[in-house]
């Protein structure tokens, strides 16, 4: 892969994500090195690779939860890595995050979970917050479940409720970690369809960590492959194109796994 140029304020469109020469490490152990890629506004970008390759670690670097050993991450041409805490905080207000388990507060109803960021970051009246919570739950097919607790609904519904909470502040960029983890095929398909619908309806950019082929081919407009052997990104592009045209055997094997079982 060729080194990507550094973004400039003139070249980077609003909400573009640019990662440049990122190396991720835990002390002396290098997880991935010299990763560079761009995510354009409105794309659904899949971070893919085998177990333990650093997919979730990359997402946490992009969210500022982990600091890189080297390299930089830019949003709209502005360095997120070197930004002071106040500027990082402003950037984070424009992100939504759905972690693997949904990360809902078990002691709160679904409406109360969605209300939390609205209560913290807006001056809206409680009645207005309740209306927004109902709207967000409606968008994910959970209207009427406002007063249910997470323990009272299924795993797929909890994932959708988590997505509704992540959407509470109308983020420009959504980060989703293993959306299909622990779900049956039907629930997984419903969640994929929901991500596609939100992307198409609102122009939201999605960064999705996943190893599930069905989801990768169904929703991703572009993708990056993290290779555990070389400890770097060895392919970037639309998943179907990489499956059919990548010169890297590891990429082709990952995207074609299971084909022999159906022949």
One pLDDT digit (tens) per residue for the chain, 263 residues:
433 334 444 445 567 999 999 999 998 899 999 999 999 999 999 999 988 899 999 999 999 999 999 999 999 999 999 999 999 998 998 999 998 766 789 999 999 999 999 998 899 999 999 999 999 999 999 999 999 999 999 988 998 999 999 999 999 999 999 887 778 888 888 889 999 998 998 999 999 999 889 999 999 999 999 999 999 999 999 999 999 999 999 999 999 986 644 34
H-helix or E-strand spanning residue 239:
helix 239-245
Integer Cα distance of 113 and 81 in angstroms: 30
pLDDT at 103: 75
Residues in the chain: 263
DSSP state of 191: H
Integer Cα distance of 54 and 177 in angstroms: 12
Check: CB of residue 77 under 8 Å from CB of residue 11. yes
pLDDT at 180: 79
pLDDT at 250: 94
| Cα-based distances in Å from 224 to 38, 146, 158, 263 | 10, 37, 28, 27
User: How many helices and strands (H and E) does the chain possess?
Assistant: 9, 10
pLDDT at 244: 95
The residues pairing with 97 across neighbouring beta strands, listed in sequence order, are 175
Q: What is the strand order of the sheet 70-75 is part of? A: 29-39, 17-26, 70-75, 78-79
DSSP state of 212: -
pLDDT at 200: 92
Q: Tell if the pTM clears 0.85, that is, is over it.
A: yes
């Amino acid at each position: 892969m060729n080194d990507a140029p550094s973004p400039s304020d003139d070249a980077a469109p609003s909400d573009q994500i640019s990662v440049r020469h990122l190396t991720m490490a835990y002390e002396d152990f290098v997880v991935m090195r010299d990763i560079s890629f761009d995510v354009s506004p409105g794309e659904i970008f899949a971070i893919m690779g085998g177990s333990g390759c650093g997919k979730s670690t990359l997402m946490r670097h992009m969210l500022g939860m982990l600091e890189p050993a080297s390299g930089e991450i830019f949003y709209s041409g502005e360095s997120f890595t070197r930004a002071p805490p106040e500027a990082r905080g402003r950037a984070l207000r424009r992100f939504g995050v759905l972690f693997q388990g949904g990360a809902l507060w078990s002691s709160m109803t679904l409406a109360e979970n969605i209300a939390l960021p609205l209560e913290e970051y807006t001056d809206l009246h409680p009645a207005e917050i309740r209306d927004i919570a109902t709207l967000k739950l409606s968008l994910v097919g959970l209207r009427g479940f406002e007063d249910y607790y997470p323990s009272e609904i299924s795993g797929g519904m909890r994932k959708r409720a988590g997505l509704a909470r992540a959407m509470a502040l109308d983020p420009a960029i959504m980060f989703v970690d293993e959306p299909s983890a622990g779900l049956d095929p039907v629930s997984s398909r419903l969640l994929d369809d929901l991500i596609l619908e939100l992307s198409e309806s609102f122009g939201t950019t999605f960064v999705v960590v996943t190893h599930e082929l069905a989801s990768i081919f169904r929703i991703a407009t572009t993708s990056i492959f993290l290779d555990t052997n070389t400890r770097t990104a060895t392919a970037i592009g639309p998943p179907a194109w990489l499956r059919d045209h990548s010169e890297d055997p590891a990429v082709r094997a990952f995207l074609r796994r299971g084909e022999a079982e159906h022949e």
